[in-house]
Amino acid sequence: MSGTGARWFAFVESNTTGTGRDFCAAARARGLRPVLLTRDPGRYGYVAEDGVDTVVLDTSDADAVYEECAALARGAGLAGVTSSSEYYVVTAARTAAKLGLPAPDADAVARCRAKDVQRALLADAGVPVPRFAAVGEVADAVAAAEDIGHPVVLKPVSGSGSVGVKLCRDRAETTRWARELLGRATDERGAPVSSRILVEAAVEGPEFSVETFDDHVVTVVGKHLGPEPYFVETGHDVPAPAGPAALAALGDTARAALAALGLGWGAAHTELRLSASGPVVIEVNPRLAGGMIPVAVRAATGRDLVDEVIAGAAGQDAPAAGPGAGHAAIRFLLATGTAQDPERRVSAVEGLERAAAAPRVVAAATTGSATIGRTLRVTHSFQDRLACVVATGGSGEEAERHALDAARLIRIGFQQQAAPQALDGEGVGGR
């Protein structure tokens, strides 16, 4: 690694939906030297493109991560440790705390990462959550579903990006999906998974997320989802198109959930459904939102949450908010088809420059899934998102129109075109 005299800022792995790059850029802008601790630097295209220093090690080994960070601290000095990946926020928090650096409560983060534990804590505190059961056997999943009442949602007790989340409408679907989930030994990162899953009541109503920082509501985001029985997020609106009373209720419920979980330091991303009886917490994520939401928040409100995360973790002053456009929209270009379709290899990416230059566009990028040469199979999760556009407008409708128009300019080519409609823009997530 090259020496510049600046203190290190360590990232334990990275997310793959765009803002991982922004985290490193924010650290550099603060005069720090970003270094990525990772098992596979090639997983993140921006690392080579931006010349980010890397240390290759087994990031599932918390002791190895700590020892490396301690070595960085003994050298040029270490300003902070964090992660933009859901899977490594606990390791980052524990490492930072052991080194005397600012961090959230690692035990609270760990409790939050286990969705069954999180749900129990929220329910005990009176925070509205779906009726649920945590089970480890297929028969128990079926029994829980019949007790709760179909339709139900089955999901892993840990994970991110809608991986493994599915609506099951009857006993047969519940049996099949419980068997599928309980038969998985590793997650999409190759890490071992729990032998338990969640069975929960399906909550009717639009979905939102509340973005908080240090227990304060920054904004409420409206979410667009793909077709059931899956829950792939196809777009986001900042701020959410909802009335003042609904926005206030969503924010208050999210803050109550953070208090029940012992969170409140730094960023959190709380997902909720607005049911007929009020907000229901689906899950609390003890981290900054992914899916380019921070980019849209910055464009709409002027708050740079990525830089605020870096500032907090480095013990530096938070940035002042800048001007915002008022409204921003994110729309994704999605791979289409089914999990049974043949694998396809990404052969071309076209139109990114045109999309980036389109009116009111502030960001246009492909995800890690659309790397040329990568083999792609539909997973009905965040991994199906191939590209995204973030655009602004004077209203939510205007921002959405700009985002959709630009996203349709992006074309992803495959060697084996099992789903050619994705090339024509029909895989663009809208309303």
Which is the catalytic residue, given 21, 287, 408, 411?
287
Give the SS3 label for residue 34.
Answer: strand
DSSP string, 175-204: HHHHHHHHT--B-TTS-B--S-EEEEEPPP
Exposure string of 133-167, with b = 16+ CB inside 10 Å and e = fewer, is bbbeebebbbebbeebeebbbbbbbbbbbbbbbbb
- CA pair distance 285, 289, nearest whole angstrom: 8
Give the SS3 label for residue 426.
Answer: coil
DSSP string, 263-306: --SSEEEEEEEEETTEEEEEEEESS---TTHHHHHHHHH---HH
Nearest residue to 13 via CA among 23, 1, 26: 23
Active-site annotation holds for 287? yes
DSSP string, 362-410: EEEEE-GGG-TT-EE---SSGGGEEEEEEEEESSHHHHHHHHHHHHTT-
- CA pair distance 16, 27, nearest whole angstrom: 18
Q: Which amino acid is at 209?
A: S
- CA pair distance 338, 408, nearest whole angstrom: 22
- CA pair distance 330, 355, nearest whole angstrom: 13
How far is residue 71 CA from its own chain's centroid?
A: 30
Phi, psi of 301 (to 5 degrees): -110, -20
- CA pair distance 174, 183, nearest whole angstrom: 14
- The residues annotated as belonging to the active site are 287
